[in-house]
Amino acid sequence: GAVVSQHPSWVICKSGTSVKIECRSLDFQATTMFWYRQFPKQSLMLMATSNEGSKATYEQGVEKDKFLINHASLTLSTLTVTSAHPEDSSFYICSATSTSGGRETQYFGPGTRLLVL
């Protein structure tokens, strides 16, 4: 299947700093990528839809000024957590949709574990 990578896999930072997470589709182009947040033992919560060449679409309750999303190319989307606080500590997962044979399948990145001290 298609491969989605994410970098870094984990990060520890001080409160108040900003953290950038990259999501790449390695062997296919993705006009749309998704960013999820997952707390321990909970489901995937969609944060935003990242659209190549246009602004991201944020889900209700997600602060767009705090979680900056940039989809600079058909293979790269970035999520920047600005002025991170301990409550932002979570597992962040991106996904991208691959189209083959007229059918779309969603593939997930390996996730980034963020710990804000």
Partner 1 sequence: GENVEQHPSTLSVQEGDSAVIKCTYSDSASNYFPWYKQELGKRPQLIIDIRSNVGEKKDQRIAVTLNKTAKHFSLHITETQPEDSAVYFCAASRGGSYIPTFGRGTSLIVHP
Tell me which residues touch partner 1 (CB under 8 A): 1, 32, 34, 41-44, 46, 49, 91, 93, 97, 103-111, 113
Whether omega before 110 lies within 30 degrees of 0, making that bond cis, reads: no
Nearer to partner 1, 19 or 93 (CB): 93
Question: Phi/psi at 87 (nearest 5 deg)?
Answer: -70, -10
CB nearer to partner 1: give 17 or 59.
59
CA-to-CA separations, 113 to 32, 45, 54, in angstroms, rounded: 22, 15, 27
| Nearer Cβ to partner 1 (59/63) | 59
Q: How far is the CB of 108 from partner 1 (least distance, A)?
A: 4
Q: Which is nearer to partner 1, 1 or 61 (CB)?
A: 1
Q: CB of residue 115 vs partner 1: minimum separation in angstroms?
A: 13
Least separation in angstroms between residue 2's CB and partner 1 is: 10
